Amino acid sequence: MPAIFIILSFKTKNIEMKKIMMICLLVLGVSAVSHAQGRMRMSPEERVKQMKEKLNLTDDQTTKITAIYQAQAKSMDSLRNAGGDMRSQMRPMMQATNDKVKAILTPEQAAAWQKEMDERRARMQNGGGQSN
């Protein structure tokens, strides 16, 4: 009789371990997906840092462009919270931001930045994401 209890006890522990393992995998999967979704948008500071590295921005350019991107981020957040047809409102806002940034860049920097944006747009249209 005790052998049966040991076997039954082992089976219930095995089932419990499987449940715990499944819960852990589920939590891991959810956290990975949420982390990936969170990285889709870069913060204004991250965007400027990336630009500074690629375009060799001066400190003055960095400060001005950071302010532009921070203002855009606030406007975009308010649009997202308002709901409605965001895309039609965001596109002109993004174009205005790009125009302001281009005005701060040198012609060489602006050309390199435009090339990078065109490449990013092509990757996005082909189903790709960000790549560094």
Q: What is the pLDDT of residues 30-73, one digit of tens each?
A: 776 665 554 457 889 999 999 999 999 999 999 999 999 999 99
Residue 131 domain flag? no
Dist. CA 49–CA 62, nearest whole Å: 8
Dist. CA 93–CA 132, nearest whole Å: 25
67 Cβ neighbours under 8 A, 6+ residues apart: none
Count of structural domains, the chain:
1
Residue 126 pLDDT grade (very low, low, confident, very high; cuts 50, 70, 90): confident
Residue 3 domain flag? no
Q: Range of 73's domain?
A: 42-125
Residue 121 domain flag? yes
pTM above 0.75, yes or no: no
Contact 109, 116 (CB under 8 A): no
Residue 75 domain flag? yes
What confidence score (pLDDT) does residue 34 get?
A: 62
